Chain A
Amino acid sequence: MERAQIDWRMEQNRQEKATELAEGIVQQHGIVAPPVDPAFLVRDERQLRLIGADFRDVFDGMLEYHHSKRRFLLFYNTKYDVNAGGTHPRTRFSLAHELGHFFIDRHRVYLMTGGHAHGSRGEFTTDSMVEREADAFAAALLMPKSMLRPMVNRAPIALSDVERFANVFRTSFVSTAIRSVQLSDFPCAVVGIRAGQIAWGFLSESLREGGCYGILNGPLQSPTARDAWQAFEAGRREKLPSFTASRHWFRTSDREYLQDLTVTAEFLPMPVMHTLLAFLTIREQDLYPGLR
C-alpha cells in the first residue's frame, strides 16, 4: 500500500473515532433531540473554562492549557452572534471544534505535554489532520447520527432539505450538507467550487458502492457548473438547479453506463467562503439498474 493511501486510511480511521467519541458524549448526557448545546455537555468539567467574547479577527476559537494551574481555557469568538438573534451556527461549530481538542485524547495530551500553537483556516478547509479530526468531532457532536440519520433517509434529499436540517440543528449550511451526505443511504454528493475549480467534495456511501467512487477535482468540466460559477462571480446569488452528466463530476468504475447518468445539480452561493456549493443527486434506480 502506498504511503498516501496509508495516510488517508489512518486519517479516515481517526475521524471515525472522533465521530464515535462525540456521539458517545451526546448519548451519555441523554440528549435525544436537536439542537445540541455544546456548553451543556461540559458543564461538569472542572478542568475546563469556557470564555465567549468578541475576539474580532484574531481567531474563531482557541483552547489552551495552563500547566501550572492544570486548567484548560476555551476561548470562542461571539462576533458572529451580533446579528444572529442568538448563538450563530459558526459560533456553535467553533465551540464544538475546540471541545474536540479537549475530548480527543491525542489532542489533549498534545496540549498537556507541550504542543505548540498553530492556526487553521476554518470549517472543512483545513490542511492539518488534527483540525480535520476536530471538525469531524464537532459535526458529530452538533449533528449526531442517531438524530440526523433517520431524517436524511426518509426520502432522497435536496438542497431545501439540507436548509431545513440546518435550521433544526442550528448548524451551518456547509457542515449540515456534508454531514447529511455522509449519513445518506441515497446517491448524493456535496462539492465546493472555488476559483472555478472543484476544491473539495464528499460522496455518500451509496454513490461509491454504485461505482462513482471519487470527485473529479480541478477545473470544472460541467458546462452548467461553469455557467453557475460565472453567475456567482458576477454577483448573482440566486440558486440554480440544473441537469448535468455524471462524467463531469465523478471518477467512475469501468461500467460504461456510469459515464452518462443524469445528475441533478443544485447550486448555492456562499459568498463569505468565496465558495459555490453544488449539491448533486442521482436517481437510485439509474445508479443501480438492477432495481428497475
Chain B
Amino acid sequence: MNTGDMEFWEWASAKLRRVHRHREMTPEEMEAFLDTVEDEPLPENQIEEIVASIRAGLIPHQEPAPDFSWLGVNRDTEVEEDIYQLARNKGQDDEETLRRIEELRLRELEDDGESTDRLADGTEPTGEGH
C-alpha cells in the first residue's frame, strides 16, 4: 500500500468505525462506502508533472523537496563564531557544570576517531528494546 492509500485508510477507518461501530466491514460494504466518496481533482502542478514524466517515458514519481524558503538569504558567509546551539529547558547556569560541559566538549572534539556515544563516566548508554 503506498503512502496515499495509507493516509486515505487512516482517514476513512475512523469514520467507518464510528458509523459501523466495532464490527468489521464486509468487502461489499467497503465497496459501497467507497462509491459514496467523491473524487478529488489533482492539483495542476501535479498533473503537469505526471504528464511530463509520461512524455519522457518515465514512471511518475513525486519527492517532496526540503523547504528552505524561511531562511531568506544564505547566511553561511556571515558565520563568525564557531559554536551554535539550541538548548531545551534552559535553566540556571552554574560554574562547576559549565566547566564540566567544556571538558566533555573538548574531549569529543579532540577525538577524531569513530563516533562512540557515551555517558560522562566513559560508559556507553545502555541499549533499550527496539
Docked-complex contact A111 and B88, CB < 8 angstroms:
no
* A164 CB–B CB distance under 8 Å: no
Chain A positions 57 through 98: 1 when the CB is less than 8 Å from some CB of chain B, otherwise 0: 111111111111101010100100000001100000010011
| Residue contact A45 to B115, C-beta cutoff 8 Å | yes
Q: Given A120-B90, A284-B18, are A64 and B85 neighbors across the interface (CB < 8 Å)?
A: yes
- Contact count A vs B, C-beta below 8 Å: 187
Segment at the interface with B among A46-54, A172-180, A213-221, A238-246: A46-54
B67 at interface, CB cutoff 8 A: yes
Question: Of B21, B68, B85, B127, which one neighbours A62 at CB under 8 angstroms?
Answer: B85
B113 to chain A, nearest CB (A): 11
- Bound-state CA distance A71–B108 (Å) is 9
Interface residues on B, range: 35 or more
Q: Is B4 at the interface (CB under 8 A from chain A)?
A: no
Closest residue to B115 on the A side, CB-wise? A46
Q: Which parts of A105-137 form the interface with B (CB within 8 Å)?
A: 105-107, 109-123, 130-131, 134
Residues of B within 8 A of A105 (CB): 66-68
Q: Which residues on A sit within 8 Å (CB–CB) of B19?
A: 291
The 8 Å CB contact of B67, one of A106, A115, A149, A206, is: A106
Stretch at the interface among B30-38, B43-51, B73-81: B73-81
Q: Is the CB of A50 within 8 A of B100?
A: no
Which of B81, B89, B93 is most buried by chain A, counting CB atoms within 10 A of its CB? B89
Query: Across the interface, which residues of A come within 8 angstroms of B114, CB to CB?
Result: 46
Contact with B85, one of A30, A68, A117 (Cβ below 8 angstroms): A117
Q: B61 contacts the other chain (Cβ, under 8 Å)? A: no
Q: Which of B14, B75, B87, B108 contacts A206 (CB 8 A)?
A: B14
**Complex interface: chain B residues within 8 A of A115 (CB):** 84-86
Chain A contacts of B98 at CB under 8 A? 58
A108 to chain B, nearest CB (A): 10
The 7 closest A-B pairs by CB, nearest first: A119-B90, A53-B120, A60-B89, A50-B117, A37-B128, A185-B14, A57-B91
Residues of A within 8 A of B (CB): 29-31, 33-37, 39-40, 42-43, 45-46, 48-69, 71, 73, 75, 78, 86-87, 94, 97-98, 101, 105-107, 109-123, 130-131, 134, 149, 153, 170, 185, 205-206, 284, 288, 291
Question: What are 14 residue pairs bridging A and B, where the CB atoms are less than 8 Å apart in the complex?
Answer: A36-B130, A40-B127, A43-B117, A46-B115, A51-B104, A53-B120, A64-B84, A65-B85, A67-B81, A67-B83, A114-B76, A114-B81, A115-B84, A185-B18
